[in-house]
Structure 1
Amino acid sequence: MNPPVDAPAATRVRRFGTAERWVHRTTAVLMGVCVLTAACLYLPEPAQLVGRRALVVTVHEWAGLALPVPLLAGLASRALRSDLRLLNRFGPHDGVWLRAALRRDRRDEARPAGKFNAGQKIYAAWIAGATLVMLGTGLIMWFTHLTPLVWRTGATFVHDWLALTIGIVLAGHIGMALADPEARRGMRTGLVSREWAERRHALWRR
């Protein structure tokens, strides 16, 4: 059971600071704009509904170009840099977590985790790499006069199929967030219940 939002402060622990939450929010907004504008460019129904293709292309290009900006600006925060170090480090407990996930063992004691579990670390690494690839291929498609045709053809192929993959992975990410209201509360307010932290991220709380 998750405690009510107005639970006493003594039952909560701070999970994220202001910088982490705002980087997540602004990145999510920019990613959402990229996904929605991409849908308007590639799917006939949204394209007919929205129209103004040239404007949609411009919004898509600039939202994609701005996508790394929140994270780069957030690097000024020591707390965010600390979280990035944690996301980039895998320990023995992460292997245990992954094996339990593959066995579909949902018991909390079978999935030991620090501040971030192994699934979150893999997602963060994958989405960061995918964003860089999308940015690179997008620039090749944008500045057509700077690259040969074969580069533009390859970039278009990679950009389109990776965009589809990102959409699927983001849907999974959102679905998992919807299934865990306490995790959403942590990203929204920065605070989570002590019970949830000790149950789902026991190594972090220790």
Structure 2
Amino acid sequence: MPSKYRPHIFGWFGDLDKGPRLVPLHDDRLSYANNNYCAFIRKVSSDQIFYLCIYIIAVILLFIAVVLLSILTYLCNPILETNIFLVALSGVILCFIAMYLVIPEIYQNLFSHRGSPIIFNRKTGKVYVNESDFFNFKVFRHPAVFLQPKKRRIKEYDWDDLHGVIIHNMSRNALTSTVLMVCQPDTHQVIDHIMLDPA
């Protein structure tokens, strides 16, 4: 089934109904609820610790690879051993690019504020999304962003403009994820999206 959203959502599986329904909460993502609002966290602390350890190990291994490949690049004579020199130099460059992509993941898991909650306020009809700068899903970040790891912003959306979407991974494992799509009023034109599980 093709996605009805513009731009199209790859792997779009279906919409979630906003109607009143009793859903059993087996997950520990609901942090607070009363008659006026409820708050869901997007990163469970156990997931934060797990991914933090994984990315720290990745940075350590990448740093070791950079050091070893740099030594190999330095010891090679670029005139006589051109192939080895180019392979080592391209390996150093790839390791730096990988570190540039992995370090924000460490920041995200280390500095995300109380699981980066999403607050649904029934009285005002608004949804408030607490995000750090590392939830913006940009591949190329300005290096100054790393100097302000705790900088946060709160986005505010109307409840009527949000559509819950299930995205189906078309792989062998068939994983699904839930995304809140922010659309322009009374359309399916997507202007923003909120990952319910930023990992």
TM-score for the superposition, normalised by structure 2? 0.29
Looking at CA atoms only, which structure, 1 or 2, has the larger radius of gyration? 2
Q: Which has the higher contact order (CA 8 A, sep 6+)?
A: 1
TM-score (norm 1): 0.28
Structure having the larger proportion of residues in strand: 2
Which protein is richer in helix relative to its size? Answer: 1
